[in-house]
Amino acid sequence: MGNSKFVFVTGGVLSSVGKGSVTASIGKILQARGYEVTATKIDPYLNFDSGTMNPYMHGEVFVTEDGGETDLDIGSYERMLDRNVSKGHSITTGQIYWKVIEMERKGEFLGKCVQIIPHVTDEIKRRIVEAAENGKVDVSLVEVGGTVGDIEGAPFLEAARQLSLQLPARDTTFVHVALVPVLDSTGEAKSKPLQHSVQELRRIGIQPDIVIARTRNVLPGELRAKIALFASVPEDSVFSSPNLPSIYLLPESLDKQGLGSKVCEKLGLEDRKPDWRPWRRVVKPLMEPRYRVRISLVGKYAGLADSYMSVLEALRHAGGVCNAGVDVELVEAEELEESGASERLRASDGIIVPGGFGTRGAEGKVKAIEYARKRDVPFLGVCFGFQLSVVEFARNVALMGSANSTEVDPRTPYPVIDLMAEQKGIGSLGATMRLGASPVVVEKGTLAYKLYGREEIYERHRHRYEVNPSLKGRLVERGLRFSGYDRDGKRMEILELPGKFFFFATQYHPEFKSRPGRPDPAYYGFVKAALSKKLGMKALKVSRGFSYAASSAA
């Protein structure tokens, strides 16, 4: 085992109380003190990974540099910590059981009866320690998804309990985050559910060291004292995670309450003076923008913003370096199929069609793209949005009748988007797409090159279909410019329409690499174009006053 220390974060009362934000914030607080940190998310469901889960129920599927399809919390860690997190940091019950059963089939348990304790818990501990990168980080944060008391979560909490006994005393600490609801009628904050969730934790042998109440406002002293008494922790170990305008304000809010010093004390780390200046430089432009732009996001899960979390974050980061707040309107693509696009999209400064799958809403997205192209509204297409831009151009400019993606219409006479050759014959859905970062060669003299400023970049992918190389000629003749390819020049990665103010689309997902203060150039170009056009500028001026993680390293 390495020498990393572990912070286990558990949740009580409800899920979705912002445990992920608290976990990422503790990481930021330690980073501000000069410590190296990383984070791991445990999802106690049986799915092997998030790849096959419906974004409408679970939020977006986040893709890591090494091609993991993970929970969106991994994205929050990457953005807050400005650090790539690899797929091994996303642990599920499915993965653990898979591995244990595989070992059993190989006879590795030497005839023993294979049990939850110790065999499953041993494998969980091995994965947790492995994700601490062999001791290369000072602190590894481990967020246990779900709520204390869930049957699925029990083996993970048991493993954490065992680790806390096996490692030296100051190497682990437990942080419990729970909702403190506020009654509508009296405005009173109630701590009873939190008290019960701490009792539940203690029942399984874990005494939290730190309790964080997720609540509307910072808790008054007397309520903190009450929580301390019932949770059996000192009063100075009770903190509040209040409602804030942005999660990027949470780390400093918690640190101001003393959380950083307390975590250092519990872990036996020197409580160095935190340097918040670099983080403030990143956060401030996000909070006080001079301009505002209105972006319409045309998708099929418009009812749940979490389905597009990284896209929304990437727009916000891009706004930050353009001094613009981005107001995003989520537009349900199917609505455009009935009513047409012009009415619904008239007020937009920019239109984005993000990634997606399947037939539902596809025609509405094509309508939005047609509207953007004809009215010269700044447009960004991502993955499915890229593919449907090709479809729209093929139909309406290259006059290829009912051109389509074979994903939407398998019998189209013009399959301008088709299954990638290596995908043919794959029947299984899990982890079978083209996934993760791979190199994209950017052609000189194009808008793409202006934005990225490099001939080769690494960007993250998640798709099965691609531009059909055999139908590309006619599209290019009619003015569609492919400005980025894979290394052997065969796979189309970026498209643009020269002569338009900003019409740009990528087969990859730029949003997964966007960080506060370091937006991905595609999103930057898009938001800058929307703002410039709104302010009446004649052409887009691109500045490169920010860094971008072109390679795989950061």
Nearer to ligand GLN, 43 or 407 (CB): 407
Retrieve residue 362's tokens. Answer: 């596809």
For residue 34, the minimal CB distance to ligand GLN (Å) is 38
Helix axes 19-32, 259-267, angle to 10 degrees: 80
Please say if 511 is a catalytic residue.
yes
How many angstroms separate the Cα of 418 from the Cα of each of 363, 414, 471? 17, 10, 10
Q: Which residues contact 411 (CB under 8 A, 6 or more apart)?
A: none
User: Binding to ligand GLN by residue 465, rule CB under 6 A?
Assistant: yes
How many angstroms separate the Cα of 178 from the Cα of each of 7, 28, 314, 364? 16, 20, 29, 41
Is the distance from CB of 292 to CB of 325 less than 8 angstroms? yes
The amino acid that residue 348 corresponds to is S
Retrieve residue 420's tokens. Answer: 């990638």
- Interacting residues with ligand GLN between 351 and 390 (CB under 6 A): 355-357, 383-384
Q: Which of 69, 119, 313, 383 is catalytic?
A: 383
Cis amide prior to 118 (ω within 30 degrees)? yes
30-65 burial: b if 16+ Cβ within 10 Å, else e: bbbbebebbbbbbbbbebbbbbebebeebbbbbbbb
User: Binding to ligand GLN by residue 299, rule CB under 6 A?
Assistant: no
Per CB under 6 A, the segment of 36-44, 463-471, 475-483, 522-530 that binds ligand GLN is 463-471
User: Binding to ligand GLN by residue 508, rule CB under 6 A?
Assistant: no
Site string for ligand GLN, 406-425 (x = CB under 6 A): -x------------------
A 10 A CB-CB count for 466 gives 24
A 10 A CB-CB count for 247 gives 18
Among 462, 500, 528, 533, binds ligand GLN (CB under 6 A): 462
User: Binding to ligand GLN by residue 463, rule CB under 6 A?
Assistant: yes
- Site size for ligand GLN, by CB under 6 A? 10
User: Binding to ligand GLN by residue 144, rule CB under 6 A?
Assistant: no
User: Binding to ligand GLN by residue 301, rule CB under 6 A?
Assistant: no
Nearer to ligand GLN, 156 or 485 (CB): 485
Nearer to ligand GLN, 75 or 274 (CB): 75
Nearer to ligand GLN, 10 or 468 (CB): 468
Per CB under 6 A, the segment of 156-164, 226-234, 341-349, 460-468 that binds ligand GLN is 460-468
Nearer to ligand GLN, 213 or 369 (CB): 369
User: Binding to ligand GLN by residue 464, rule CB under 6 A?
Assistant: yes
Retrieve residue 276's tokens. Answer: 């918040």
Q: Which of 89, 119, 176, 509 is catalytic?
A: 509
The label of the residue with tokens 């934005």 reads 451
Q: In what order do the strands lie in the sheet with 37-43?
A: 90-92, 37-43, 139-144, 5-12, 172-179, 210-214, 238-241
Is the distance from CB of 504 to CB of 379 less than 8 angstroms? yes
For residue 466, the minimal CB distance to ligand GLN (Å) is 7
Nearer to ligand GLN, 360 or 374 (CB): 360
Per CB under 6 A, the segment of 169-177, 307-315, 337-345, 456-464 that binds ligand GLN is 456-464
**Sites of contact with ligand GLN (CB under 6 A):** 355-357, 383-384, 407, 462-465
Tell me which residues are annotated as active site.
Answer: 383, 509, 511
